[in-house]
Structure 1
Amino acid sequence: MNEKIPYLVGNASLKSELCIEEVGEKISEKLFGGLKFIGKDKKIYEEVPAVYLEHDIMSLRIILQGFSGREEDQGFSLGIFPFSASYIFKGQELEHFRVDGYLTLLLKDALKDVEEIQVIDQRTSKK
């Protein structure tokens, strides 16, 4: 019997008047040792601006993207996704684990002193 391979994915929502590069810089300073978010010119998502951490962490791609909708809902989403899982675990069954709540709590704690960014807690619909 093959053991399922954990496949971590997560998203957290943020609000800020800062541009995507500034939000990325502040998040990176607090969580990723100052690694740069890059790739805005690559337009990885057609509909919204997006940047990704210049180095994957343990094969996880960290992506910061804008999202749109009603003006009061505009903000950002920070996501983590297995980037190389498709070839590292080829042919093995993957078991998805959502870490949205963990990522939200991590960001809330790391950014608690950064007034320009509010972390939206989707679990309670509170900032």
Structure 2
Amino acid sequence: MSLEELGEILSREIFAGLKFGGKEESIHEEIPAIFIEPTILGLQIILDGYNEDDQDKTYYLSVRPLRMSDVKWGKFPVSDLLTSLIRHLLYEYKQIEILEE
């Protein structure tokens, strides 16, 4: 599955049809990445991974505040909540495996 194909699934299933784009902007120097713009609630949503020719087809979905200094981090495990939500929403896609860090 390509970066763009996964972006289409995530767009449809999680982000209410908001499209990923911006691959040509090369926001990461050597790693292909696409993102949703504008931000949602001040959150930057980025999907990145490796080139199509690589054996490793691992992609990473990042949902993070655009300006980190504005966020007061508490004890609420936001990443755990998002991982569980994404796993639930993508359950029917057997070709997508959700890995935890």
Partner in structure 2 of residue 45 of structure 1: 28
Partner in structure 2 of residue 99 of structure 1: 78
Mapping for residues 19-98 of structure 1, pairs under 5 Å: 19-67=2-50, 71=55, 73-84=56-67, 89=70, 94-96=71-73
Deviation at 1:67, TM superposition (A): 4.9
Q: How many residues align?
A: 97
Whose relative contact order is higher, 1 or 2, with alpha carbons under 8 Å and at least 6 apart?
A: 1
SS at structure 1 position matched to 2:87: helix
Taking structure 1 as the reference length, the TM-score comes to 0.66
Identity %: 35
Q: Which sections of structure 2, spanning at least 5 residues, go unmatched?
A: none
SS at structure 2 position matched to 1:22: helix
Encode CA deviations 1:46-93: one digit per residue, 9 max, x unaligned.
Answer: 12110111221111110001158x94x54111011212566xx4xxxx
Contact 1:64 1:78 in 2 (8 A): yes
Greater fraction strand: 1
Q: Where in structure 1 do 4 or more consecutive aligned residues deviate above 4 Å?
A: none
Encode CA deviations 1:86-110: one digit per residue, 9 max, x unaligned.
Answer: 6xx4xxxx43355221121111100
Partner in structure 2 of residue 115 of structure 1: 94
Aligned equivalents of 2:8, 2:61: Cα separation in 1: 13
